[in-house]
Chain A
Amino acid sequence: METPILQIDDLSTHFFTRDGVVRAVDNLTCHVGAGEALGIVGESGCGKSVTSLSVMRLVQSPSGRIVNGAIRLQGRDLLALSEKEMREIRGNEISMIFQEPMTSLNPVLSIGCQLIETIRRHRGVSGKEAWQRAVDMLRLVQIPEPDQRMREYPHQLSGGMRQRIMIAMAFACDPKVLIADEPTTALDVTIQAQILALMSDLQKRLGTAVVLITHDLGVVAETCQRVIVMYAGRKVEEADVGDLFDRPRHPYTKGLMASMPHLHRGLGNGQRLKEIPGMVPSLLDPPPGCRFAGRCAHATALCTTEEPPLTETGPRHWVACWHTGAPAEVAQ
């Protein structure tokens, strides 16, 4: 296998609060190759956003700290870099788009001004060239009348348009990795479909590695090749996307899939959805063993004492569960 663009090894990011240590991300290992789209799925508090902030080295200090692990961008350990070197990487080699495009754009600067600033900071080109590049980028993300939009301000644009601007900004310096943290959660379905199509298209054309962080399995099914499922700070399952949807092995993944109502599944009113009982455990002094044990129907004494290791149960399919020996069922 070729060396991945981004390799994360044993990453642990903890938050040191007055109440104790919150283990937001615990021993996470994963990688993304060039031109690949990796989905990280999980519910709120599972550590998926903290993972992305860790890669960007934007974890809020002093309470949050990366306590262990390595993050390698083409073999270079990002955790060993100085803040100054890291600034060179952010927005240049690794870009990020966030859920709420309004808060990520400066309301008092025009779109063009912000785009040009990003381009000039990393490219060192003249103002005129940067302007041209910015207009090209807006055209690339299919914004009509790009010259006109350059002079407009964020509040004059719709949510979908602002997210396109963010994408343009993220791609402006030809990043090697794009981290998209819930990029379409704040958008309407028809706009979400537009943005996802745009992102997939750009990814294919430019060969960027994409890490897509989302709570929506549907979004993953739509755009990713490989998926990591996270629960309470840990990776519980990793597989190719088709494999994961066909043969989910971890009880949490199965539960997640079964609890989602699906379009056209004909499950009418009156029929119950499968629920996962209980709620996510506190990441402050989490229970020993498997973190899902408290909500799992198959949990045994072993599950509550020993942490299950990640085991490869199929080609490129890893699961952290003691009970994957049972024949896998296709999720209903």
Chain B
Amino acid sequence: MAVTDTVSLPAARSTAPTKGRLARFARFVRRHPNIAIGALILTLIVACSALAPLIAPYDPDAINPAERLKPPSAAHLFGTDAFGRDVLSRVIWGGRISLVVGLTVALFSVGIGLAIGLVAGFSRIADAVLMRVMDAMMAIPGILLAIALVALTTASIETVVFALVIPEIPRVVRLVRAMVLSLREQPFVDAARAVGTRFHMILIRHIMPNTVAPLIVQATFICAFAILGEAYLSFLGVGLPPPTSTWGSVIAEGRKVFGLAVWVVLFPGLFLGFTVLSINLIGDGLRDILDPKLSRRQ
């Protein structure tokens, strides 16, 4: 209290003069090494996936029986799988699906969760109803939902995204609702009412911007979780149908030959792990930056 008071004193002064962009960048990297590392890894992985048609050495789905289960070599950096397909190409292409699923799931769950959370935070009646619905939704295991959906419809990227979004929504709703409930009691919201700000403007100008920071952090974690989730689903065979390659499906196929060709599982596993790790690093870093209480203590 008293101590942080004293230490936070410099916060009142203006930001130190910056010596050009490079110096500012170096300072940022020094202060937030985890974001820098996470961003570096993620950029590399995203770039690989985005440029898949240019950099993948082979057609990811081209079967070549002569080249079955070859260990990593100059021709096949990551080796080949049971059908002779190039694992490197499959991993590069597979990243596209994984990353798209992660991003879409994060966007949808945060968007829908934010809308429901705002309503729940402002209306007592809606709150009572919505939160019970959310409790029910939280009780649905994502994997079971996906299996049921695939059984009912055809496996597609939409089904996978849907199955992963549903269990995430209640989590976001709870977060948003809790933030709205505390924000609407803040004096600056009272101040806005006192100067005649209309309700919708209070929502847009005062409530929503203050929920953004924690939501961005939450979104990174949802994204990482969805990438893993998609891998689980593909691994269990309820994801996208073959021959579409995703990291999960490459691992699932490699499982059968694990004893003979560990590389088929290892490399997509490493990509998956590093992606999730990098996103989590960024999320942690952002939380430190965006939480005013933590950043003030620096």
Q: How far is the CA of A226 from the CA of B2 in the complex (A)?
A: 23
Q: How far is the CA of A19 from the CA of B295 in the complex (A)?
A: 12
Q: Please tell me if the beta carbons of A45 and B5 are within 8 angstroms of each other in the complex.
A: yes
B23 within 8 A of A: no
Partner of B13, one of A15, A50, A64, A282: A282
A296 within 8 A of B: no
**Nearest CB to that of B7 among chain A residues?**
A15
A221 within 8 A of B: no
Partner of B298, one of A17, A45, A59: A17
A177 within 8 A of B: no
**Nearest CB to that of A49 among chain B residues?**
B2
* Nearest Cβ on chain B to A54's Cβ, whole angstroms: 10
In the complex, which residues 101-142 of chain B have their Cβ closer than 8 Å to any Cβ of chain A? none
Q: Please tell me if the beta carbons of B10 and A284 are within 8 angstroms of each other in the complex.
A: yes
For the A-B complex, the count of residue pairs with Cβ-Cβ distances under 8 Å equals 53
* Nearest Cβ on chain B to A197's Cβ, whole angstroms: 25
A273-296 Cβ-contact flags toward B at 8 Å (1 or 0):
000000110111000000000000
B31 within 8 A of A: yes
* Nearest Cβ on chain A to B147's Cβ, whole angstroms: 45
**Nearest CB to that of A59 among chain B residues?**
B3
Partner of B10, one of A64, A182, A282: A282
Q: How far is the CA of A17 from the CA of B10 in the complex (A)?
A: 10
Q: Please tell me if the beta carbons of A24 and B31 are within 8 angstroms of each other in the complex.
A: no
Task: Name the A residues within 8 Å of B16 (CB-CB).
Answer: 19
Q: How far is the CA of A244 from the CA of B10 in the complex (A)?
A: 31
B12 within 8 A of A: yes
Partner of A283, one of B2, B3, B6, B31: B6
* Nearest Cβ on chain B to A251's Cβ, whole angstroms: 21
User: Contacts A50-B2, A53-B3 hold; do A283 and B298 have CB atoms under 8 A apart?
Assistant: no
* Nearest Cβ on chain A to B241's Cβ, whole angstroms: 52
Interface size bucket, B side? 10 to 19
A74 within 8 A of B: no
A238 within 8 A of B: no
Q: How far is the CA of A28 from the CA of B5 in the complex (A)?
A: 19
B9 within 8 A of A: yes
* Nearest Cβ on chain A to B231's Cβ, whole angstroms: 38
User: Contacts A18-B298, A19-B298 hold; do A45 and B9 have CB atoms under 8 A apart?
Assistant: yes
* Nearest Cβ on chain A to B23's Cβ, whole angstroms: 15
* Nearest Cβ on chain A to B225's Cβ, whole angstroms: 31
Q: Please tell me if the beta carbons of A22 and B2 are within 8 angstroms of each other in the complex.
A: no
* Nearest Cβ on chain A to B298's Cβ, whole angstroms: 5
* Nearest Cβ on chain A to B258's Cβ, whole angstroms: 47
A181 within 8 A of B: yes
A324 within 8 A of B: no
A300 within 8 A of B: no
* Nearest Cβ on chain B to A41's Cβ, whole angstroms: 14
* Nearest Cβ on chain B to A287's Cβ, whole angstroms: 12
* Nearest Cβ on chain A to B18's Cβ, whole angstroms: 13
Q: Please tell me if the beta carbons of A22 and B6 are within 8 angstroms of each other in the complex.
A: yes
Q: How far is the CA of A260 from the CA of B185 in the complex (A)?
A: 33
User: Contacts A49-B2, A53-B3, A64-B3 hold; do A19 and B10 have CB atoms under 8 A apart?
Assistant: yes
Q: How far is the CA of A152 from the CA of B107 in the complex (A)?
A: 51
Q: How far is the CA of A24 from the CA of B9 in the complex (A)?
A: 10
Q: How far is the CA of A222 from the CA of B270 in the complex (A)?
A: 70
Task: Name the A residues within 8 Å of B298 (CB-CB).
Answer: 17-19
Task: Name the B residues within 8 Å of A60 (CB-CB).
Answer: 3
Q: Please tell me if the beta carbons of B9 and A280 are within 8 angstroms of each other in the complex.
A: yes
In the complex, which residues 80-127 of chain A have their Cβ closer than 8 Å to any Cβ of chain B? 99-100
Task: Name the B residues within 8 Å of A59 (CB-CB).
Answer: 3
Q: How far is the CA of A322 from the CA of B10 in the complex (A)?
A: 27
**Nearest CB to that of A24 among chain B residues?**
B6
* Nearest Cβ on chain A to B268's Cβ, whole angstroms: 39
A154 within 8 A of B: no
Partner of B7, one of A22, A181, A280: A22
Q: Please tell me if the beta carbons of A22 and B9 are within 8 angstroms of each other in the complex.
A: yes
Q: How far is the CA of A63 from the CA of B297 in the complex (A)?
A: 10
Task: Name the B residues within 8 Å of A24 (CB-CB).
Answer: 6-7
Task: Name the A residues within 8 Å of B1 (CB-CB).
Answer: 99-100
Q: How far is the CA of A53 from the CA of B2 in the complex (A)?
A: 10
**Nearest CB to that of A64 among chain B residues?**
B3
Kindly list 6 other residue pairs between chains A and B, CB separation below 8 angstroms, not including A24-B6, A63-B7: A17-B7, A18-B298, A45-B9, A50-B3, A53-B3, A282-B9
Give me the 3 closest cross-chain CB pairs, A-B, nearest first. Answer: A49-B2, A284-B10, A45-B9
Please, could you name 6 A-B residue pairs with CB atoms under 8 Å apart, sorted by A?
Answer: A18-B298, A19-B10, A47-B6, A99-B1, A282-B13, A283-B6
Task: Report A's interface with B, CB cutoff 8 A.
Answer: 15, 17-19, 22, 24, 44-45, 47, 49-50, 53, 59-60, 63-64, 99-100, 181-182, 279-280, 282-284
